[in-house]
Amino acid sequence: MTKLHIFQKVANVVVYLFFLSTTVYTVVSPANGEVGEGQTYITPSFWISYVWTLIHLLLGGFVIYQWFEPAHDAAIHGVGWHYVISVLLSSAWLGLLKGGHELIAFIFVLLTASSVSYVFYNLEKNYQTTSWYDKLFIHAPFSLWHGWIVFSVVINFFQVVSHTSEEGPGVWSRIFVILGLLFLSSTAIGYVEYKKNKGDVTGAIVLGLGLLAIFTNQQDPWIHWTSLALAIITLLYPVRPYACKLVGRPTDAENAPLLG
């Protein structure tokens, strides 16, 4: 392990501690109000922020596990400095969002999404898991974070372009919200279908839970029931191959060639 590698790992620990302080564990969640501030017709219930707590816990496992030899290559070359970059961008995003600067915050959440996406796809493509430790402390936190940041981009976007009124949502507001819900659901399905047998179920579950949180918080019938229907589809879709196998129907993964 070179001095540069040691410095990088120390930097990961430092920014993780910084991340904890900037997200401020005030009650029980580090994301207290971060997604729900600036109410819109797509704002989810607060309980979805517990996903952020889980991400923090798994990232804590990552900064510890990175010091062990099996995690060295994935931590140094798979994640690289993008962990530090993602943390700093995400911290700036949360600070701007809580300060009421939704438009600038949206720019930073896009930058955060770009950085987290790089780590997510680099790990999926080049650093396959060899143990449960790899799955739990390297791949899982970034898969969850990627799903969470995609969800946050959509929520933050509506904070910029829409607002609530006493009369409730109009026709166009409903249409745009439903399009946003469809985007979240289709993205979750894309996670599962990503390179077929390499599909990412954890990211899909985050988006499915996000849709369920929108269902529990929104009372307009069109938005309420659409989000529930899409949440059910999204959460059930990852078990589709197992259901097909149960009824004796072959799936795409089973028909795929063994090589290539």
Three-state secondary structure string covering 189-244: HHHHHCCHHHCCHHHHHHHHHHHHHHHHHCCCHHHHHHHHHHHHHHHHHHHHHHHH
The pLDDT score that the predictor gives to residue 165 is 77
**Residue with more model confidence, 65 or 129:** 65
Residue 170: per-residue pLDDT: 86
- How far apart, in whole angstroms, are the C-alpha atoms of residue 13 and residue 56? 12
The pLDDT-based confidence of 27 (bands split at 50, 70, 90) is very low
Give yes or no for residue 197 having a pLDDT over 80: no
pLDDT digit string, tens, across residues 216-258 = 999 999 999 999 999 999 999 887 655 555 555 555 544 433 3
Q: At residue 13, what are phi and psi to the nearest 5 degrees?
A: -65, -45
Kindly state the tokens that stand for 51. Answer: 């996903």
What the block records as the tokens of 42 is: 């797509």
- pLDDT given at position 166: 77
Q: What is the mean pLDDT of the chain?
A: 84
User: What is the structure's pLDDT at 254?
Assistant: 46
Q: Which of 188, 212, 211 is nearest to 201 (CA)?
A: 188
Q: Which has more confidence, 65 or 98? A: 65
Q: What is the 3-state secondary structure (H, E, C) of 163-183?
A: CCCCCCCCHHHHHHHHHHHHH
Token pair 């995400």 is at which residue? Answer: 90
Least confident range from 19-23, 53-57, 106-110, 195-199: namely 195-199
